[in-house]
Amino acid sequence: MQQLFQYFKQFSPLTAEAMDAIADICKLLHVAKHTDLQPIGHTCKTIYFLNKGIARIYYYKDGIDITESFAFENDILVRVESLFTGRPSRKAIQVLEDAELVAIDANQLFQLYDRYPEIERLFRKIFEAAHVETVNRIEALQFHTAEERYKALLNEEPNIIQRVPLKYIASYLGITQVSLSRIRSQR
């Protein structure tokens, strides 16, 4: 659990009491690769934090598997559009490498918001940072070529290539597997 609280520290401070309250609603999970942590159609009621391993959020569009995002060590992992609306998600969370993660019960967390404004603030800031990343991602998709997006990804996550099947990376970049292969083979 230290890893999680270390992560929290980047965003805002917590009293010992608030930390205990959070720890009480957390569970440590070990999940084997290829497991769907949360299936399509369920409403997101858990906020995950990845201690170790890789996961992705994916969905099906016209029967084709599309990766919306990846999560790595020390990332928060959540289906925002379901958690914040209370609606079922068309997306699933899949673990790509044997993973260790912390599961935070969202309903219990939201109750803590009432008792601990500092906890509400912490998660506000965590999700604000995620929001900023999402906005930046739009810029990439809107006006960079597939090749530029691929190179930018390599820059941010140099070892994603060794750890994630290329087909997942392709749909994350908004292109087909074949196109990605073509881009990779050019020089």
- Three-state SS for 163-182 is HCCHHHHHHHHCCCHHHHHH
Helices 146-156 and 177-185: crossing angle in degrees, nearest 10, is: 80
Which of 25, 26, 40, 80 binds a copy of itself (CB under 8 A)? It is 80
| Burial call 85-106: b when 16+ CB within 10 Å, e when fewer | eeeebebbbbbbbebebbbbbb
- Contact characters 47-66, a copy of itself, x per CB under 8 A: --------------x----x
Closest among 71, 120, 136, 60 to 97, alpha carbons compared: 71
Quote the longest CA-to-CA distance of the chain: 57
CA quadruple 128, 72, 107, 91: dihedral, nearest 10: 90
Q: Which CB sits closer to DNA, 41 or 165?
A: 165
Count residues contacting a copy of itself (CB under 8 A)? 29
Of the listed pieces 81-89, 109-117, 118-126, 141-149, which binds DNA according to CB under 7 A?
141-149
Least distance in angstroms from the C-beta of 135 to a copy of itself: 5
- Judged by CB under 8 A, which of 16, 63, 135, 158 binds a copy of itself? 135
Q: x/- binding map, residues 89-128, to a copy of itself, per CB under 8 A?
A: ------------------------x---x--xx--x--xx
Binding a copy of itself by CB under 8 A: which of 42, 52, 137, 167? Answer: 137
Instruction: Return the residue matching tokens 């608030």.
Output: 18
Query: What residue type is 181 in one-letter code?
Result: S
Q: How far is the C-alpha of 81 from the C-alpha of 165, rounded, in Å?
A: 26
Site string for DNA, 53-92 (x = CB under 7 A): ----------------------------------------
Summarize as ranges the residues that interact with a copy of itself (CB under 8 A).
Answer: 61, 66, 68, 80-81, 84-85, 113, 117, 120-121, 124, 127-132, 134-139, 141-143, 171, 174
